[in-house]
Amino acid sequence: MSAAIVNTIKQCGYFNQGQCLSCRHIQQPLAQQVAVKTQTLQQLLAPFIPANSVELFLPPITGDDSGFRNKAKMVVLGAAHEPVLGIISPSGEAVDLCDCLLYPADMQALLHRLTRFVQQAGLPPYRVDKAKGELKFILLTRSQVRGEYLLRFVLRSHNGIERIERELPALLAEYPQIKVVSVNIQPIHMAILEGDEEIFLTENTRLEERFNHVPLFIRPKSFFQTNPQVAAKLYQTAREWVAEFSPRSLWDLFCGVGGFGLHCASKDITLTGIEIEAEAIACAQMSAQMMGLENVSFMALDSTDFAKGKSAADKPDLIIVNPPRRGIGEALCQSLSEFAPKAILYSSCNPKTLAKDLEHIQGYHLTKVQLFDLFPHTDHFEVLAMLVKD
Ligand SMILES: C[S@@+](CC[C@H](N)C(=O)[O-])C[C@H]1O[C@@H](n2cnc3c(N)ncnc32)[C@H](O)[C@@H]1O
Ligand code: SF4
What does the pLDDT look like over 56-92, one tens digit per residue? 999 999 999 999 999 999 999 999 999 999 999 999 9
Site residues for ligand 2, CB cut-off 6 Å: 12, 14-15, 20, 22-23, 26, 97, 100-102
Q: Check if the interface score ipTM surpasses 0.90.
A: yes
Query: CATH 3.40.50.150 occupies which residues in the chain?
Result: 35-64+227-389
Mean pLDDT within 49-56 = 84
Residue located nearest, by CA, to atom 2 of ligand 2: 100
pLDDT band with cut points at 50, 70 and 90 for residue 312 = confident
What is the number of the ligand closest to the CA of 322?
Answer: 1
Query: CATH 2.40.50.1070 occupies which residues in the chain?
Result: 71-204
Site residues for ligand 1, CB cut-off 6 Å: 223, 225, 254-256, 259-260, 274-277, 280, 302-303, 322-324, 349
pLDDT band with cut points at 50, 70 and 90 for residue 3 = very low
- Which numeric CATH code is attached to 35-64+227-389? 3.40.50.150
Ligand 1 centre to CA of 307 (Å) is 15
Q: What is the mean pLDDT of the chain?
A: 94
The residue that leads in pLDDT, 14 or 191, is 14
For the chain, give the number of residues. Answer: 390
d(CA 185, CA 160): 10
**Topology classification of domain 71-204:** OB fold (Dihydrolipoamide Acetyltransferase, E2P) (2.40.50)
CA dihedral 161, 163, 169, 172 (to 10 degrees): -70
- Out of 192-201, 312-321, 368-377, give the one with best mean pLDDT: 368-377
Give the model's pLDDT for residue 50: 84
Mean pLDDT within 48-61 = 89
Active-site positions?
349
pTM: 0.95
